Amino acid sequence: MEKQSLSALSLIVNQFCVEGILQNICAYGNGHINATYYLETEKNAQVHRYILQQINTDIFKNPDQLMENIVGVTEFLKAKIRERGGDCSRETLQVIETKDGSSYYRDENGSCYRMYLFIVDSASYDQVDSAETFYESAVAFGNFQALLAEYPAHKLHETIPHFHDTKKRFENFLTALEQDICGRAKSVQEEIAFVMDRKDEMDCLTKLLASGELPMRVTHNDTKLNNIMIDDTTKKGICIIDLDTVMPGSALYDFGDSIRFGANTAAEDETDLSKVSLSLPLYTAYVKGYLEGCQGKLTALEKELLPVGAKMMTLECGMRFLTDYLQGDTYFRIHRPKHNLDRCRTQFALVADMEKKWDEMKAVVAAC
C-alpha cells in the first residue's frame, strides 16, 4: 500500500464533509495496517480535528463490507450511548461521510479512504504500565461487549474469514508443515510437538459456537491496549477504536487476546523464555474489569470458560507465528532472522505457564 503525498491528501480531504478549510495534515500514530493521518480544519476561528485513513485493501479486500460493519456497529453504539446520557462524540467512533453520502472515498487509482472525528483530550498506550491501567482497559472492552449484546452479530461480514477459527489455523499449520517450503521443519521439532500435543483442543470453542452452547456475539478481535482511547483526565477508557476486525465470534476471543497481550510478563518476542509467565495480578485485574464492564451480559458458560479463551488465543497466535516461520515469514513483519520463531516460542511458553496455573486461573474467575 503506497502512502500518498500530503498535497494529494488535501484533495482527498476535500471529498469529505469536513467543517471549514484544511489548515494542517500530518502522518499520525504507529499502526502497521492502514496509513493514518491527523488533520485540522478551521471555520469561524474554530478548529475541527479529524483522522483520515487509507484502508489497506491488500488485507481488507472488500471495503464495502468493511465499512458496512463499522457504520452498523457505530450507529448502534451511538443509540445506546444516547440512551444512557453519554457523549457520542467521545464514546464511539464518528464516521464522516463523503460529499456524495458514502462512508468512504475511492480515488481514480482504486485507493480507499475513510474519515473519523478525532477524539480530543485522550490518548492510546502501547504497553500495560500498571494493574489499574489493565483493569480500566478491561472495563472498556467489557462495556463494548455489553453495549453490543443486542446487536445482530450474524449480520456482520467476516472481514478476514476464519480469523479466530483455531481449527482452521491448525489445518493451515499442518499444510505449512507438510510443504515445508523453506526446509525449516527439522529445526523446530520441539515447537511442532507442542502444537501436536494439543491438537484435540483446537476446536473446543468453535464446536461450542456451532452448537449454540456459546452465543455468537459482536467481537472486536484485536483487543490490545492501544485500541482504547484513554481520557487524559480520568484515565478511564472512553472509546474502542480500530473496528476493522469487528466480526461475529465469541466474547472469549476478545478476553483471551487481551490476556495474551497484556498479562504476559515479557515482550511478545522475548528471547529469554525464563522471563515469560502469566502475571496472576494482571490476569485478576482484567477478569474483574471485564466482568464489571460486561454488566451481567455473559452467560454462565462464557464466564466459566474465560481461562480457556486465554489459553486458546495464545496457542492460536503462537501457532500462526510458527506457520508463518515455516512458510518463509510472508505474513507477519519481521525485524530480525527467526523473529517469528521467537514470537512463537514466547506464546508457547505463556501457554505452558497458563497450564501450570490453571487451577489458580479458574479460582480467580470463580471468586469474581
Give the model confidence (pLDDT) of 181-209 as tens digits.
Answer: 999 999 999 999 999 999 999 999 999 99
Task: Count other C-beta atoms under 10 Å from residue 219's C-beta.
Answer: 26
* DSSP H/E element including 238: strand 237-240
| DSSP 8-state class, residue 33 | S
How far apart are alpha carbons 218 and 188 in whole angstroms? 36
Q: Quote the CA–CA distance of 309 and 367 in Å, as a whole number.
A: 18
Q: How far is CA 178 from the centre of its chain?
A: 30
Which pLDDT belongs to residue 143?
A: 97
Span 10-47, pLDDT tens digits:
999 999 999 999 999 999 877 667 889 999 999 999 99
Alpha carbons 350 and 270: distance in angstroms, whole number: 11
- Within the chain, how many helices (H) and strands (E) appear? 13, 11
Alpha-carbon distances of 173 from 53, 188, 314, 316, 361, rounded to whole Å? 33, 13, 15, 10, 28
In CATH terms, the fold of domain 6-119 is Phosphorylase Kinase; domain 1 (3.30.200)
Q: Tell me: the pLDDT tens digits for 210-253?
A: 999 999 999 999 998 999 999 999 999 999 999 999 999 999 99
User: pLDDT for 241-254, tens place per residue?
Assistant: 999 999 999 999 99
Give mean pLDDT, residues 163-188. 97
- Of 16-20, 31-35, 80-84, 287-291, the poorest mean pLDDT is in 31-35
pLDDT on residue 125: 86
pLDDT at 217: 97
The b/e string for 171-185 (b: 16+ C-beta within 10 A; e otherwise) is: ebbeebbeeeeeebb
Topology annotation, domain 131-367: Aminoglycoside 3'-phosphotransferase; Chain: A, domain 2 (3.90.1200)
CB 285 within 8 A of CB 138: yes
CB under 8 Å to 191, separation ≥6 — which residues? Answer: 322, 341, 344, 345, 348
Contact by Cβ (8 Å): 147, 292: no
Report, as an integer, the average pLDDT of 263-272: 95
Its pTM stands at 0.92
pLDDT in tens, 100-138: 999 999 999 999 999 999 999 999 988 888 899 999 999
pLDDT value for 331: 86
Dihedrals φ, ψ of 50, to 5°?
A: -140, 165
Scan for cell 512458510, then name that residue. Answer: 327
Residue type, 281: P
Domain boundaries, the chain: 6-119, 131-367
SS3 161: coil
Enter the DSSP assignment of 152.
Answer: -
pLDDT at 252: 98
Indicate the average pLDDT of the chain. Answer: 95
The stretch 316-325 carries a mean pLDDT of 97
